[in-house]
Structure 1
Amino acid sequence: MTEIGPAARDSPFHPSQAASPTTSLVLASTPSSVVTMPGTTLPSIPHYVPAPPTAESLEWADLPIIDISQAATPEGRAELAPRVRDAMRTQGFLYVVNHGYDQAKNERIFDIADLPFAHVPEDEKKLFAGNIKQTGSYRGYKLRRYWHIENGVHDQLEHYNLHRAITGDQKHPKALQPVLPEIRAFAEHNHFNVLHPLLRLLARGMELPEETFVNIHGFDAKGETYVRFMKYYPRSEEEESKTKNVWLKGHTDFGTITILWSQPVSALQILSPDGKWRWIKHIPNALVVNAGDAMEFLSGGFYKATIHRVVQPPADQRGYTRVGAFYFAMTDDDVKLVPFAESPVFERVDIVRKCDDADAPTMEQWRRGRTSAYGQSELKRKDEVVEEEVINGVVVKHYN
């Protein structure tokens, strides 16, 4: 049973109030399983079989591992806050474990994550494709070959994005209909049992009241926080050569916190403080968490939006697809992205602003601008590595 910590119980809406029965279930992970519990039956869906973890020797990033269950008590938060603070000020990435889902529930999520790709016909996918550039929203599908990578090569990944409310005014493909309650429970779990505890720790790290960031990340407020399922497909040797094996250029996320559910295909790399690209190692049933632009805005540069990229997997994993499950958190749409200058830490460190406070974008303006431009705009090359564009008056860098 998923344990809901005191922090989540204090929230205005948390998983224990959801209509979905999945919050307290232990889910099976056998192929095409029908899961039955007293009074409850979950739909049968195909089992996604991931690649085995790589056996190659790679240069892994050394990231701290945070036991988020400790955040349920004031003493635990006091112990964790400095570690989370230091991670987000240096690497900008960390692992989270003991988050409340067991391995069986984890596998069920990846079975669900593969549904919009392997079990939705191409014609139906097109019906649910997002009008990304015009709307500045990723809701629905981003189909393959939408983003330009390099030298005329476009991406070979697709993703499906569900607003955190899951149902609301967003319609979904037929294959997803039976599992929408489970996806809703997954969104709630990420929001209340992972995101909010992390936000409390980040606020403590800036010596701000614990609820400072939580108060601007409402579950029911107007905003675009979403669940994303993603699938990468292998590319041709010609495409790998033209892009120097880069699948997605180095970039920062534009929200506050990104929660990635660890999966075994090694492809994600981060740009370490020493300027070297290092691989993110898979830890079963762990979460990989990083800060984005909005958190850097709000923290006055105290926390870093870390540059990361996706590259061709090591040789023993090539030929496999790579399915991902994410929770991309953003503040409420109307939040102006200016630093919390009242933080006592700014008595000791300087505030680093990306623009004047008067010119700072709202969360809605920033995510619409970043979403519309990504992979579609003409970038200005600064040197052999960095390309730039300007969004809402702020310089955004991409690393090739």
Structure 2
Amino acid sequence: MLEIPVIDLSSFTTGKATARQTVVQQIYQACHEIGFMYLKNTNISHNLINQVLKQSKDFFDLPLAEKQQLAWTNEFSNQGYVGFERERLNPNNPGDLKEAFNIGKQKAIDIDVTDRLSPVFTASSSPAKNPHILNFYQACTELANKVLQAIALALELPQDFFTTNHNQQNHTLRLLHYPSLSQPPKLRQVRAGEHSDYGSITLLFQDEVGGLEVRTASGKWIAAAPIPDTIVVNTGDLMERWTNHVFCSTKHRVMIPNDHTLNQSRYSVAFFCHPNDNTEIVCLESCQRDKSPIYPPILAGEYLLSRLQATY
């Protein structure tokens, strides 16, 4: 597969059995062959997406000192502001030319401590307090569950297999800003270095600027250009481990443009879908028919921490 397919999700949600099965097969093929797809008719409104992109821009327009008051502090919480060049997704390259803000679900058991210690949840300027963004987090959770249901059926599992293993909502919503460039980048520096995502699936909402590239199985880089009225979805490392490489966790990157968009900021929002921390990621039986398990079992939470520690 040399092109990223566009899949209409509405048939899975409201269609008859044959139409649902067609969507399941399309998702299986996309996850197996390239690890990326565009979904249309997802029921997340344009208005809500635009509101989130606006709130993201408003936050990143704040003075750096104000944003740093909400700084990301450690991989255990994985929340807050991440400054320019702080993250290095490709360890062989200089720091990425982007800034970000991570938002996770606030666990009820931590509310009292968090309110005392973390301005990420309490500062008026924090996106974590914005109602549009909180509504968006919930809408992304619901969409991710639909995709996970389709993936479960594609792998001959009970429909609720993955949603049950994601019911603690350990997901991360990430606002991203790639600034316009007023000076040349460092050697090999890009907006987001070559990497794979850490969790099960990712939902990506991008503006019209573009720059995302995906590496095919043959090693060719292809553009994942913005397509109106669609959402990019890709499978991550834990889904690859779960499925014994039946589904792939594809490398991707965000490059610096070589046209007029060099002088434009790029904004995107990624929703990283993670299993419950105590979920054991062990090779699925339906994925062992042709080869033995590639990976030993690992807890989802342990894997995420190891990847975050390596990234920061």
TM-score w.r.t. structure 2 length? Answer: 0.88
1:108-127 equivalences under 5 Å are: 108-118=51-61, 120-127=62-69
Write 1 or 2 for the structure with the bigger share of helix: 2
Counterpart CA distance in 2 for 1:178 and 1:325 is 14
Contact residue 334 and residue 364 of structure 1 kept, 8 A: yes
For the pair 1:162 / 2:162, whether they are aligned, the reply is: no
Shift of 1:336: 1.3
Contact residue 136 and residue 369 of structure 1 kept, 8 A: no
Q: Deviations 1:150-187 (Å, cap 9, x if unpaired)? A: 78833221100111349954515423479622222111
TM-score w.r.t. structure 1 length? Answer: 0.69
For the pair 1:131 / 2:73, whether they are aligned, the reply is: yes
Counterpart CA distance in 2 for 1:246 and 1:178 is 28
SS class of match (2:132): helix
1:167-246 equivalences under 5 Å are: 168=111, 169=114, 171-176=121-126, 180-192=130-142, 194-218=143-167, 221=168, 224-235=170-181, 237-240=183-186, 242-243=187-188, 246=190
* One-letter identity of the residue aligned with 1:225: H
* One-letter identity of the residue aligned with 2:131: P
For the pair 1:79 / 2:22, whether they are aligned, the reply is: yes
Contact residue 196 and residue 237 of structure 2 kept, 8 A: yes
SS class of match (2:121): coil
1:362 to 278, 299, 302: 299
Shift of 1:255: 0.6
Who is 2:117 aligned against?
A: none
Q: Pick the structure with greater CA Rg.
A: 1
Counterpart CA distance in 1 for 2:99 and 2:308 is 15
How many residues align? The count is: 300
Who is 1:255 aligned against?
A: 199
Q: Deviations 1:1-29 (Å, cap 9, x if unpaired)? A: xxxxxxxxxxxxxxxxxxxxxxxxxxxxx
- Identity, in percent, stands at 23
* One-letter identity of the residue aligned with 2:30: A
Give unmatched runs, 5+ long, in structure 2.
115-119
Q: Deviations 1:323-356 (Å, cap 9, x if unpaired)? A: 1111110000101111122x2x533x324423x3
Give unmatched runs, 5+ long, in structure 1.
1-60, 377-400
Contact residue 8 and residue 40 of structure 2 kept, 8 A: yes
Counterpart CA distance in 2 for 1:306 and 1:86 is 14
Contact residue 110 and residue 323 of structure 1 kept, 8 A: yes
SS class of match (1:333): coil
